[in-house]
Amino acid sequence: MTAPQPKPWIMAIAPYVPGRSTTDDGRKVAKLSSNENPLGTSPKARAAFESAAGTLERYPDASANELREVLAAKHGLDPARIIYGNGSDEVLHLAAGAFAGPGDEVIFVHYGFAVYEIAARRVGATPVIAPDKDYATDVDAILAAVTERTRIVFVANPNNPTGTYASRDEIARLHAGLRPDILLVLDHAYAEYIEGDAEDGGMALAATAPNVLVTRTFSKMYGLAAERIGWGYAAAPIIEAMHRIRLPFSITIAGTAAAVAALGDTGFVEHTRAHNAEWRAWFADEIARLGNAGLRAVPSQANFVLVLFEGALTAEVAYKGLMEAGYIVRWLPGQGLPHGLRITIGTADECRGVIAAMRAMVEKSG
Ligand SMILES: *Cc1c(COP(=O)(O)O)cnc(C)c1O
């Protein structure tokens, strides 16, 4: 051997493909490919971020005391049991790093979040894929995939890229069916977008069960994707293990300041939630009107809609046509969805523009 050899499980990783922000010919157009907040971020968070410029030479507080205290007060949690990371992506990696390794199995659904597979492979564990039912998480399929080697089950709820939501009863049934030595990770990146007051009971499980980790993020509803602040909640021994492998300074002073301020701006969050609910419903209705052309929207509880193309107009042609029209959405052939586009709910104008472009393509292809 003439050069350092990466571990074979590292070379088995298909690199994460982020949402694009420019077209093939380099034009910057409306980005509806990463589920960011189309309304921006809270002005209070922006002001807090700017004021942090005075302490650039300082290391951040490694124990993130203020962030944990504010989160605990807001959600009624024990601050000692909050883990935090460089986006919730890091928290997901910490879970895999602390609880899985070579020879172990990590379960997630087929149409699931790409980071789970990367996190599993990174530590040499074997990814195990549970089939979905109508694009939604199938608890029975997950339970059927469990073996003696299973160490972690990752479930995003609502799920990305499908937008589907597993009810509180389904999550309770999943948890009840898992051995206590299996860590159930409930990824709540989109929990704030669920209709009404519904929630899946994950946080209550994390508070009481020894084997449930809930992860949350400031990247979506709070509009702070740039600043990479995520967190998680679980039983103390789970959190303690994850702290051992956490980078000491993975969240920044400015990001933390913005996150704390964002938590206090309930008006911005309510405005975002109402906007998303209104335009998600409108968007799904408009797709339903294109149903005879073979378009179908998977029911979504998130800030995006997965549109399936089952007629003459294909997802690939629609993806390119939308790019031409000035909208970048997510086409996911690498995730088993060559027939689907995941489209972030944008501003009112963006939603209208996407539907107008889609309708024009349908008319042309019919
Ligand atoms: C966006 C997203 C995350 C969070 O990403 P971070 O920016 O790293 O907090 C986590 N899980 C899912 C399913 C997501 O879609």
- The H or E element containing residue 260 is helix 253-264
Report which protein residue has its CA nearest ligand 1's atom 15.
Answer: 160
pLDDT classification of 47: cutoffs 50, 70, 90: very high
Q: Read off the pLDDT band of 26 (50, 70, 90).
A: confident
CA of 1 to the centre of ligand 1 (A): 38
Verify whether ligand 1 is closer than 6 Å to residue 241 (CB atom).
no
**What is this structure's pTM?**
0.97
The closest residue, in CA terms, to atom 12 on ligand 1 is: 189
Rounded mean pLDDT of the chain?
96
Strands 304-309 and 295-297 turn out to be: antiparallel
Q: Which atom of ligand 1 is nearest to the CA of 219?
A: 7
- For ligand 1, say whether the CB of 114 is within 6 Å of any of its atoms: no
Encoded tokens for 300? 């979504």
Query: CA-based angle 119:150:13, to the nearest 5?
Result: 25
pLDDT in tens, 152-206: 999 999 999 999 999 999 999 999 999 999 999 999 999 999 998 889 999 999 9
Judge whether residue 366 has pLDDT over 80: no
Distance, CA of 273 to CA of 271 (rounded, Å):
5
- pLDDT score of 93 more than 90: yes
pLDDT band of 24, cuts 50, 70, 90: confident
Q: What is the pLDDT of residues 315-346, one digit of tens each?
A: 999 999 999 999 999 999 988 999 999 999 99
Mean pLDDT of 82-97: 98
**Is the CB of 259 within 6 Å of ligand 1?**
no
Please compute the mean of the pLDDT values over residues 238-259 and round it to a whole number. Answer: 96
pLDDT at 278: 98
Residue 116 contacts residue 141 (beta carbons within 8 Å): no
pLDDT band with cut points at 50, 70 and 90 for residue 209:
very high
Q: Which of 284, 338, 281 is nearest to 314 (CA)?
A: 338
Percent of the chain scoring above 70 in pLDDT: 100
Residue 301 C-beta-side C-alpha neighbours within 13 Å: 21
Q: Between vectors from CA 233 to CA 146 and to CA 216, what angle results, nearest 5°?
A: 90
3-state SS of 98-158?
A: HHCCCCCEEEEECCCCHHHHHHHHHCCCEEEEECCECCECCHHHHHHHCCCCEEEEEEECC
**Encoded amino acid at 225, one letter:** A
